[in-house]
Amino acid sequence: MRLSYGMKLEQTQKLIMTPELRQAIMVLQLSSMDLAQYIEDALLENPLLEVSEEEAEDKPPADKNKDDFAQEWCDYLSECGQIDRSFDRAWAEHEEKEQYNLEHFVPEIPTLQEHLYLQLRLVLSRNKDIEIGEFLIGNINDRGYLNICLKDASLISGYRQEDLERVLKMIQSLDPPGVGARDLKECLLIQLEQRGQRTPVIEKIVDCHLNDIANGNLLKIASSLGLTVQEVQQQADLIKSLDPIPGRNFAQPSDNRYITPDVVVEKVNNEYIIIVNDVAVPRLMINSNYKLLINQKNNCDSGTVEFIQNKMKSALWLIRSIEQRRLTLYRVVQCIVDYQREFLDRGIKYLKPLNLKNIAEIAEMHESTVSRAIANKYIQTPQGLFELKFFFTSGVENVAAGKMVATETIKQFIKEMVEGEDPYEPYSDQQICEMLTTKGINIARRTVAKYRKEIGIPPVRQRKRYR
């Protein structure tokens, strides 16, 4: 075999991911709130970027000049010793008081621990008991349960186990009912005690048959306790009315309580108007001072000019990426709205099956672009608030209508069937399957069971009522 060196000319295609292209792809995937945070970070990093003061431009020039003149005059007089600076501060405080009032504030929801601390000081008077109570409350988790045993608590805190037990009983009498319990059984029994409904029978059911209640095995419980199935059903209904998570209604430090829609769709004169919600996203512009430096680059050293030019390029690309994101999102949502018009008019039963390829072909985009455009984003429609991914769903063929039926539509059919069933003779999965077949929807029984579980409907045994 002969080895030799040589040169060969070859033409190939290669995709090079430049930093600018990576940034554009990342910006496209961000939600409006995440984009606002990204822009805030960019403003700190790039001195050429600044927020466009559109609100200031809307104000009459005369008023703005008047305010600037008043401030400058106060500064001049204070420097000359003609007025006291306290007047300037008072003037600023007056402006702030007029700008902010109670209508600008919303009440903060207290955490479970804050709620318990407040009650603790109302029911306990001894400092030692309050200290023990604060220690125990600090070990109550967000669900409302005490996540430390009293033996370990005694070793850690140095308090006697008897004192810990006594103060814990006091905490368990506070609001919300069931708080401070060490397990589910104790939580339920505390609530029954506070309601005055704790009886030997229901205590026996809570101690030994919670799993049977969850699985709907009422006949087994009745046989075990020597009761009628109707009596067991009555006790089971009472247990189901209790709250197994007492701390659920209180604020958590990591709560995300609000969803800001990235797109809003409104119906105006029988037409759907699409509004890309960029209220939270500040408008960016290039700082005019740096523009002047670029124009006068002969008066600057080469390092400064190169720095400004690089930052200018980065700023322009970010502004362009944000605008491209807005246009891409608008085009994708426009295609979704046109395709799902019947859903927007009539509700979830008219949702059509849809995939990325359908929208990509209509919008003349690549499927990956559509996927990034709908990622992490929500849309507000006349039918409610949905994640954009909600509209991309598979389907089952409807033989009678000769078209596909979306998965969410089938789930809605199942939900309506269960809501209208006789509670004493509920439908089995096989019966639901046969009823869907009469509508032209051929679907397997195991698929019905899967959809039923996904929408939170229990099996027939747990839905059945006894006369």
Q: Is 159 left (phi over 0), alpha (psi -120 to 50) or beta?
A: beta
Q: Dump pLDDT digits (tens) for 39-65.
A: 999 999 888 888 876 644 444 454 555
Q: What pLDDT, on the 0 to 100 scale, is given for residue 297?
A: 60
The DSSP secondary structure of 231-261, one letter per residue, reads HHHHHHHHHHTS-S-GGGGSB-TT-------
Q: Is the pLDDT of residue 198 over 90?
A: yes
Percent of the chain whose predicted confidence (pLDDT) is above 90: 53
Report which of residues 4 and 41 the model is more confident about.
Answer: 41
Q: Dump pLDDT digits (tens) for 253-283.
A: 555 557 789 999 999 988 999 999 888 788 8
Q: Dump pLDDT digits (tens) for 216-253.
A: 999 999 999 999 999 999 999 999 999 999 998 886 65
CA distance 159 to 164: 7
Please give the average per-residue pLDDT across 283-300, as a whole number: 74
Q: Is the pLDDT of residue 85 over 60?
A: no
Top CATH class, 395-463:
mainly alpha
Q: Is the pLDDT of residue 80 over 50?
A: no
Please give the average per-residue pLDDT across 306-317, as a whole number: 86
pTM of the entire structure? 0.66
Among residues 120, 160, 126, the alpha carbon closest in space to that of 138 is found at 120
Question: 378-381 and 263-268: which strand pairing?
Answer: parallel
Domain ranges of the chain: 62-91, 112-249, 263-389, 395-463
